[in-house]
Amino acid sequence: MSDNLREQLVLLPEYFQGHLLLTLISLSLGIIISIPLGVWAAQSKIVKRPLLTAVSIIQTFPSVAILAMVVALLGGQIGLVPAIIALVLYSMLPIVRNTVTGLETVADEVVEAARGIGMSSNQILTKVRLPLALPVIIAGIRTAAVWTVGVATLSTLVGATSFGNYIFTGLQTSNLVSVTVGSLAAALMAIFLDSIIGGIQWLTEHRNQKSSTRKFKQVKFIVITAVLLGGSFSAYSILPEPKRDFVIGGKAYTEQYIIAGLLATELEAAGFTVDQRIGMGTEVLYTATANGTVDVYLEYTGTVWANIMNNSHNPGRKVVLESVTDFVKEKDGMVNVGTLGFQNRYALAMRKDRAQELGIVSIEDMIPLADGLIAAGDLEFFGRLEWITLRDTYNIDFAEKLTFDSTLMYTAVNEGQVDLITAYTSDGRVAAFDLQIIEDPRNSMLPYDSFLLASSRAAENNRFVEIMQTLVNQISDLEMREANRLVDVEGRSVSDAIAYLQTIIHE
């Protein structure tokens, strides 16, 4: 077994526990909410149409968008709660719809008979219609269960642990083993749940005719065994987690995984227990640190300056750093516990041979050529201040502006599919693909000094601050680029990159 695989499997119990917990709580709540809604809709024509439309609309929303909206509605709270709310919303459609369908397809003559012998509407519902609709309702629950297991992988994005941690970490650090383990685990859980609920469905469908046959008894035995097995796993998964001293956050790319891992290693070496919540977006992470759900993460001055403080000018590196430090303290009570030394700002980059061929050294050289150039940006760039400033400062626009996942963006420029990309200065792939960073003589690009942003609680802990300060200004652009390159280009593990940085810091 490879080291990589072993490293992944060590994480399995924690991710399994997180995923199962999310799935079971969400599905249970989904059932508790959706069946009464379905019953209500089946009784009342006024309710039926709007309700079914509403749950269908929820379903058409991209699940990532629902997660983001729930986090925003909860005032930036991350973790289990927003993930569960989003999953419950997502699970509703099949259960509500099947409840309505199930109740409506009960034979008229049976309902008439129930009325005729003197059952009240409630008795007809509970004694006749619901029991007869049960197999259809269970089929809806079965669909919802499979969906929930799948969508639960996305809850990693809002800081809830799931098999998604494998998938997002793997995607961002080019670790195929991690992606595979995560996907397989989620698929197996989905199949397992699908089979159990499918078994229950079969039993309810055949409870009348076949309850004495051998096959019925076998299926019953298997289902009960599986439920008991799943039940004990679930009981184990609801055990309260031990309280960790610090929660380290991280955004969804390699550098963040490496630095978060580095912080974890350093804190653990000092005897603290830590939890890592990696893979979140800036807004979510910033708010979570402000409200103390996260204790520390790697932030960049330019990100806070532009995205949080909503500034649209560039007063220079020093002023930005100072303003940001003051802002996070005064506005949200957080502390900049130190810069790490490297910058991760945006820069335009081209393949060296292409830049030479066109005679481009600085962005000014691009101005006359721009309407023939294809640019590729990461998922954010063309929506960011940097692009607007760059465009206005140089009065430049490109023939085509494409948006890529950052890994694909580098591949695209390397293969000549696009002329230039919006690279990051600390990115290992700049060196690996031998890209040329295009100079920015008019300083249109914001500075992005990396710094450790800590919650007020963490910043009050002297030992914590001491440990963080041993890292201050210890990592140069080149060194961070090398650490990133190890993971992104050479396919080494995040632990290898952390080890590399430690040798530099503690040399």
Binding site for other proteins (CB under 8 A): 109-110, 112-120, 123, 128, 131-132, 207-209
Q: Whose structure tokens read 């998938």?
A: 167
Following DSSP, what letter does each residue of 417-478 receive, concatenated? SSSEEEEETT-HHHHHTTEEEPB-TT--SPP-EEEEEE-HHHHT-HHHHHHHHTTTT---HH
The set of long-range contacts for 178-183, using a CB threshold of 8 Å and a minimum separation of 24, is 178/4, 178/8, 181/5, 181/8, 181/9, 181/12, 182/15, 182/153
CB of 273 to other proteins, least distance (A): 54
Nearest to other proteins of 220, 329 (CB atom) = 220
CB of 110 to other proteins, least distance (A): 6
SS3 sequence of 313-360: CCCCHHHHHHHHHHHHHHHHCCEEEEEEEEECCEEEEEEHHHHHHHCC
Nearest to other proteins of 124, 252 (CB atom) = 124
CB of 201 to other proteins, least distance (A): 15
Angstrom distance (rounded) from CA 276 to CA 266: 13
Count the Cβ atoms, other than its own, within 10 Å of residue 386: 23
Nearest to other proteins of 115, 401 (CB atom) = 115
Q: Whose structure tokens read 């397992």?
A: 192
Q: Which of 283, 346, 259, 296 is nearest to 455 (CA)?
A: 296
CB of 219 to other proteins, least distance (A): 18
CB of 141 to other proteins, least distance (A): 19
Nearest to other proteins of 156, 201 (CB atom) = 201
Nearest to other proteins of 56, 120 (CB atom) = 120
CB of 149 to other proteins, least distance (A): 31
CB of 111 to other proteins, least distance (A): 9
CB of 130 to other proteins, least distance (A): 10
**Which whole-number Å values give the CA distances from 393 to 306, 367, 385, 422, 447, in the listed order?**
17, 11, 12, 16, 16
271, burial (CB in 10 Å: exposed 0-12, middle 13-18, buried 19+): exposed
Nearest to other proteins of 207, 391 (CB atom) = 207
Q: What is the widest separation between alpha-carbon atoms in the chain?
A: 92
Nearest to other proteins of 60, 209 (CB atom) = 209
H-helix segments, 153-253: 164-172, 176-205, 214-238
Backbone angles phi, psi at 76, to 5 degrees: 90, 10
CB of 194 to other proteins, least distance (A): 25
Are the beta carbons of 329 and 335 closer than 8 angstroms? yes
Nearest to other proteins of 109, 330 (CB atom) = 109
